[in-house]
């Protein structure tokens, strides 16, 4: 077969060679970058970034052309562009292709992945400039970009799963980038193992899909499964099961309760990695998976309730932990958990578009915040403890300003990006009848403002707690690091307004409506005008009010502008809420619970099984082996190695045969 052929179910009119080349270049360019950097990056020394960054910039250009074609021109129609590259597994009834699909959802994902990816690459030029392993770092980053683009472009579940595991591998490699540090190596292992738990569910979900409809192609699955349910070929619980299994995978990758424990530890990796993988792209894969599978989830409202509950619980839990952490990156990690919880809550209530909207804005402002924190860490010479920062506002002004934009954005202060997406999530959950999600979400919004300005206050305002030796050498980061910060800050500031205004009817809604309208119709969510001077306006005011209140609370305790921080007030509050403080500081004791459940209890079970294995199973096997060996050892005595012993044997045999012959003949 020809190498490039359009999938048969593609829109009428052949897929043009240009579009195919564009889609393929998205995959191939980072792969080439990875290969070249891995092969010759070491020889490039301080310029190891050249190939990798060039590859990603080209990838970004290709992605933007594709996004333009998809979203602004609408060149591929509602069904999107489908490119069949290769029949990967043609095994009888089981056929899986290497096929890529680009629709509006993929295009929106491409915006985040390609843009943040490119900016992180550029940022890393400065951040990793003095690391001897930078060629390895850039090779891994390229590999990650390849995997992540493969993930959003994949047009069937198996290819998606392959990419899913590839990004997991890259996450493992990059979290453990400083593998000599024991904590980094352990964190990498933890991330990998916790993800495996979710992946078991994902794998089973894929198998269940295949045994049900016999295909893994997205288009066919999303058509055939609901049909099968409608005709009664499968039961409702079957559909719920498939959805929950897929969601299990999403929980692992997107670090939702109870599989969230890996993400904070993953902060052991270099900060650009935290920004790219653990804030802006990879952790969104779970959200993407659920959004992509929206036709399935729409048939299983019970599963959606689970999604919403897990999401909103993760949101409030992570926010409460973020209150007390002192490691700047860990605060941001818990903040990421919390925001991902928002997205799942939105998916769960059926507000798919706000979820993707929040994914987009969060990708920008959380990437910004992480890169900013990297700049801070860089400035104070690899110190991550916020108790040893403070007063950095004037010293690193660009970082401060950009991070302030990011903090305001995540807190949901209008007119920054986070305001639009978060408000949409909250408003939709209330209007769709999930008042409990809305209520908890409001509380989380309050908490978000507080912990973000706690972070800002402890880092940038008030008296300096920086190590006196480091103090005089604090400096602003190089241009390669500040430029991405500024770009992301601008994006965080305007992307919400540009895409999300007017409310619930912005450009983004126009783009994504075709992807989700089927699911929304199934759920009965469609319709309803936006009432600025009715329910929607009220909700908007409430959510904005709590966000501002959160920020003000943070300002009151930790200072901002002219206000001094109030450590005594913080201390008093801490004293009054001692148990709650300890609970939050101990991260709800999840690591300890896991230790008890899996390490201790699981260890006991494993040890019992081990005993059985050693004594019963191995005993049997070894018994047989010992029997063989001892009989062999006995027989071995015959083999003396002396020729004449053997010759005697021959003579004796000859005699016996001759005598026997004589006896037989003479009888």
Partner 1 sequence: MALPQTVPFIGWAWDDLIFLVLAGLMLGGGLMVVLGRDIIRSGLFMVLSFAALAGIYVLLGAPLVAAAQVLIYIGAISVLILFAIMLTQSKAGPSNLVFHHQSWAGALAAVGLAVIIIVVVIYTDWPGAATGVVASATTLIANLLFTDYVLAFEVVSVLLLAAVIGGVFLAKREDSPDPGARAVDEPTLGRLPAPRDES
Partner 2 sequence: MSQSLDAYLILSGLLFAIGTFGFLARRNAIAMLMSIELMLNAVNLSIVAFGAFVPSLAGDGALIALFVMAVAAAEATVGLAIVIAIYRNKRTPLVDEYASMRE
Q: Kindly state the smallest distance separating residue 644's Cβ from partner 1, in Å.
A: 6
DSSP, collapsed to helix, strand or coil, labels residue 5 as strand
Is residue 660 at the binding interface for partner 1, with CB under 8 A as the rule?
A: no
| Closest by Cα among 22, 262, 56 to 141 | 56
From partner 1, partner 2, none, interface partner of 597 (C-beta below 5 to 8 A by class)? none
Question: Residues 337, 314: contact at Cβ < 8 Å?
Answer: yes
Among 648, 660, 664, 667, binds partner 1 (CB under 8 A): 648
Q: Kindly state the smallest distance separating residue 652's Cβ from partner 2, in Å.
A: 10
Q: Which residue has the tokens 């809550």?
A: 345
From partner 2, partner 1, none, interface partner of 180 (C-beta below 5 to 8 A by class)? none
Burial class for 54, CB neighbours closer than 10 Å (0-12, 13-18, 19+): middle
Q: Which is nearer to partner 1, 593 or 662 (CB)?
A: 662
From partner 2, partner 1, none, interface partner of 639 (C-beta below 5 to 8 A by class)? partner 2
Q: Tell me the site size for partner 2, rule CB under 8 A.
A: 9
Q: Which is nearer to partner 2, 17 or 638 (CB)?
A: 638
Among 644, 663, 664, 667, binds partner 1 (CB under 8 A): 644
Q: Which is nearer to partner 1, 130 or 642 (CB)?
A: 642
Among 397, 601, 614, 662, binds partner 1 (CB under 8 A): 662
From partner 1, partner 2, none, interface partner of 562 (C-beta below 5 to 8 A by class)? none
Q: Which is nearer to partner 2, 73 or 643 (CB)?
A: 643
Question: Residues 315, 440: contact at Cβ < 8 Å?
Answer: yes
Q: Which is nearer to partner 1, 39 or 652 (CB)?
A: 652
The Cα 610–Cα 577 span in angstroms is 46
From partner 1, partner 2, none, interface partner of 573 (C-beta below 5 to 8 A by class)? none
**Helices 397-411 and 479-500, interaxial angle, to 10°?**
30
CA distances from 408 to 73, 124, 442, 456, 641 (A): 33, 25, 16, 10, 88
Q: Kindly state the smallest distance separating residue 667's Cβ from partner 1, in Å.
A: 14
The Cα 510–Cα 70 span in angstroms is 12
From partner 1, partner 2, none, interface partner of 532 (C-beta below 5 to 8 A by class)? none
Q: Which is nearer to partner 2, 435 or 651 (CB)?
A: 651
Q: Which is nearer to partner 1, 179 or 646 (CB)?
A: 646
Q: Which is nearer to partner 2, 16 or 640 (CB)?
A: 640
Query: Quick one: which segment of 58-66, 269-277, 432-440, 650-658 binds partner 1 (CB under 8 A)?
Result: 650-658
Is residue 659 at the binding interface for partner 2, with CB under 8 A as the rule?
A: no
Nearest-Å Rg of the Cα atoms of the chain is: 30
From partner 1, partner 2, none, interface partner of 616 (C-beta below 5 to 8 A by class)? none
Is residue 637 at the binding interface for partner 1, with CB under 8 A as the rule?
A: no
Is residue 652 at the binding interface for partner 1, with CB under 8 A as the rule?
A: yes
Q: How many CB atoms lie within 10 A of CB 196?
A: 13
Q: Show the site string, 251-270: x = touches partner 2 by CB under 8 A, - = not.
A: --------------------
The Cα 512–Cα 544 span in angstroms is 25
Among 645, 663, 664, 667, binds partner 1 (CB under 8 A): 645
Is residue 648 at the binding interface for partner 2, with CB under 8 A as the rule?
A: yes
Is residue 646 at the binding interface for partner 1, with CB under 8 A as the rule?
A: no
The Cα 284–Cα 254 span in angstroms is 6
Q: Which is nearer to partner 1, 637 or 644 (CB)?
A: 644
Query: Quick one: which segment of 168-176, 251-259, 517-525, 651-659 binds partner 1 (CB under 8 A)?
Result: 651-659
Q: Kindly state the smallest distance separating residue 641's Cβ from partner 1, in Å.
A: 14
Q: Is the Cα torsion angle 497, 502, 505, 507 positive or negative in sign?
A: negative
Q: Which is nearer to partner 1, 93 or 664 (CB)?
A: 664
From partner 2, partner 1, none, interface partner of 643 (C-beta below 5 to 8 A by class)? partner 2
Residues within window 607-646 making contact with partner 2, judged by CB under 8 A: 639-644
- Looking only at the bridges linking them, the beta strands covering 81-91 and 5-6 are antiparallel
3-state helix, strand, coil in the chain (%, to 5): 75, 5, 20
The Cα 141–Cα 614 span in angstroms is 44
The Cα 299–Cα 230 span in angstroms is 10
CA torsion 318-320-323-327 (nearest 10°) is -30
Is residue 193 at the binding interface for partner 1, with CB under 8 A as the rule?
A: no
Q: Kindly state the smallest distance separating residue 656's Cβ from partner 2, in Å.
A: 15
From partner 1, partner 2, none, interface partner of 658 (C-beta below 5 to 8 A by class)? partner 1
DSSP states along 78-142: TT-EEEEEEEEEEETTEEEEEEEEE-HHHHHHHHHHHHHHHHHHHHHHHHTTT-TTHHHHHHHHH
Q: Kindly state the smallest distance separating residue 649's Cβ from partner 1, in Å.
A: 10
DSSP states along 449-510: HHHHHHHHHHHHSSS--S-TTTGGG--PPPHHHHHHHHHHHHHHHHHHHHHH-STTSSHHHH
The residue ranges that bind partner 2 (CB under 8 A) are: 639-644, 647-648, 651
Residues at the contact surface with partner 1, assessed by CB under 8 A: 644-645, 648, 651-652, 654-655, 658-659, 662
């Amino acid at each position: 077969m020809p190498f490039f052929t359009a999938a048969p179910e593609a829109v009428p009119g052949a897929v043009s060679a240009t579009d195919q080349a564009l889609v393929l270049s998205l995959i191939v360019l980072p792969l080439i970058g990875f290969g070249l950097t891995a092969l010759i990056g070491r020889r490039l020394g301080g310029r190891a970034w050249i190939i990798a960054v060039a590859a990603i910039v080209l990838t970004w250009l290709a992605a933007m052309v594709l996004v333009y074609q998809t979203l602004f021109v609408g060149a591929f129609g509602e069904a999107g562009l489908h490119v069949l590259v290769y029949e990967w597994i043609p095994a009888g009834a089981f056929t899986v292709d290497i096929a890529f699909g680009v629709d509006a959802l993929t295009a929106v994902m491409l915006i985040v992945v390609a843009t943040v990816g490119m900016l992180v690459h550029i940022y890393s030029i400065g951040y990793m400039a003095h690391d001897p392993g930078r060629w390895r770092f850039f090779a891994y980053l390229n590999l990650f970009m390849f995997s992540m683009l493969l993930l959003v472009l994949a047009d069937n579940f198996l290819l998606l799963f392959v990419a899913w595991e590839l990004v997991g591998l890259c996450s493992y490699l990059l979290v453990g980038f400083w593998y000599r540090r024991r904590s980094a190596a352990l964190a990498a292992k933890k991330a990998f193992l916790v993800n495996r738990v979710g992946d078991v569910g994902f794998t089973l979900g894929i198998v269940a899909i295949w045994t049900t409809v016999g295909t893994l192609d997205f288009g066919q699955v999303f058509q055939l499964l609901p049909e099968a349910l409608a005709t009664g070929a499968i039961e409702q619980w079957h559909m719920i099961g498939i959805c929950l299994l897929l969601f299990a995978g999403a929980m692992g990758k997107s670090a939702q309760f109870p599989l969230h424990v890996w993400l904070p530890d993953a902060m052991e990796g270099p900060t650009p990695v935290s920004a790219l993988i653990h804030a802006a792209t990879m952790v969104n894969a779970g959200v993407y998976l659920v959004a992509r599978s929206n036709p399935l989830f729409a048939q299983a409202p019970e599963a959606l309730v689970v999604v919403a509950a897990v999401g909103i619980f993760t949101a409030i839990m992570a926010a409460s932990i973020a209150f007390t952490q002192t490691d700047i990156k860990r605060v941001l990690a818990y903040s990421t958990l919390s925001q991902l919880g928002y997205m799942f809550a939105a998916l769960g209530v059926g507000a798919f578009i706000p979820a993707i909207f929040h994914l987009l804005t969060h990708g920008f402002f959380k990437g910004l915040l992480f890169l900013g924190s990297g700049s801070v860490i860089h400035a104070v010479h690899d110190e991550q403890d916020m108790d040893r920062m403070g007063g950095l506002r004037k010293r690193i002004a660009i970082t401060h300003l950009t991070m302030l934009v990011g903090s305001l954005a995540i807190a949901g202060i209008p007119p920054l990006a986070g305001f639009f997406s978060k408000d949409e999530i909250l408003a939709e959950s209330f209007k769709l009848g999930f008042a409990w999600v809305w209520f908890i979400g409001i509380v989380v919004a309050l908490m978000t403002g507080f912990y973000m300005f706690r972070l800002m206050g402890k880092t940038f305002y008030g008296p300096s707690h920086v190590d006196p030796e480091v103090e005089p050498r604090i400096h602003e980061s190089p241009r390669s690091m500040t430029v991405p910060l500024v770009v992301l800050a601008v994006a965080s500031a305007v992307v919400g307004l540009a895409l999300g205004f007017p409310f619930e009817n912005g450009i983004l809604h126009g783009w994504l409506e075709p992807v989700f309208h089927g699911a929304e119709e199934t759920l009965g969510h469609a319709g309803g005008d936006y009432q600025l001077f009715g329910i929607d306006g009220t909700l908007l005011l409430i959510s904005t009010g709590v966000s501002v209140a959160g920020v003000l609370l943070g300002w009151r305790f930790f200072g901002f502008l002219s206000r001094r921080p109030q450590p005594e007030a913080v201390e008093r509050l801490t004293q009054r809420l001692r148990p709650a403080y300890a609970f939050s500081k101990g991260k709800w004791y999840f690591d300890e619970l896991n230790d008890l459940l899996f390490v201790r209890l699981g260890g006991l079970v494993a040890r019992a099984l081990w005993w059985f294995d050693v004594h019963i199973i191995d005993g049997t096997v070894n018994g047989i082996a010992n029997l063989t060996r001892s009989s062999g050892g006995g027989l071995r005595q015959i083999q003396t190695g002396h020729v004449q012993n053997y010759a005697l044997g021959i003579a004796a045999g000859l005699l016996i045969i001759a005598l026997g012959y004589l006896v037989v003949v003479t009888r």
